Amino acid sequence: MSIRVLVADDQEIVRTGLTMILDAQPDIEVVGEAADGWRAVQLARRLRPDVCLFDIRMPGLDGIEATRSLAGPGVQDPLAVVVITTFDLDEYVYAALRAGARGFLLKNAGAGLLSQAVHAAANGDALIAPSVTARLLGTFARTVPATPPVRPIEALTAREEQILATVARGRTNSEIADEMHISLSTVKSHIASLMAKLGARNRVEIAMWAYETNRVKN
């Protein structure tokens, strides 16, 4: 079955480009497009796509609020949202991740990484683009959060601390397995444990927590 995607960006040329790239994938189908946040939320609630791909800066309702409406902490049956943005011009990605976004990409990420992000989000995972992880999360982690970082319900093990650092640096499960010489199932088990201990919904929130608690240095 195809992964159904909703694309929202206020620039028609960007929407067209993203749609062409995604529709060219054999198992991805763009089922809707929106030029503003309000329309994006309306379409998402009606179409229930597997993944929403949202720009941050959109008229009416920006990508942050649109993400919070569809994937925020209080939303029942949240949708998977991936934020796509131009980092050098946009300093709101961290807020979007806090609002529930499952991943983020730069607009020049390329077709391969875009496809990976959509697949990851559709599978309940999250992709953190390695090229921007430290720069992005590290920058915004230096801002004072609205609330202090959560305290783990149970202390992290030494191995979990190692896994935490690799996730925060944008490593995929396969890369972590190869780097640490452990099985893929073991990596997934450690990440599941981290999510449980931190109350995180996905690996993006794990990464943010790592930066907020100064466990990863730039």
Mean pLDDT of 188-210: 87
| DSSP string for residues in 127-191 | -B-TTTHHHHHHHHHTSPPSSPPPPPSSPPPHHHHHHHHHHHTT--HHHHHHHHT--HHHHHHHH
Question: Between these two residues, 202 and 181, which has the higher pLDDT value?
Answer: 181
Question: Between these two residues, 81 and 97, which has the higher pLDDT value?
Answer: 81
Enter the tokens of residue 47.
Answer: 């179409």
- Three-class SS of residue 132? coil
pLDDT tier at 153, thresholds 50, 70, 90: confident
- Give the single-character DSSP code of 62: -
Q: Is the dihedral of CA 63, 132, 51, 141 positive or negative?
A: negative
Cα–Cα–Cα angle for 4, 177, 163, rounded to 5 degrees: 90
pTM: 0.74
Nearest 10 degrees: CA dihedral of 166, 157, 201, 178? 30
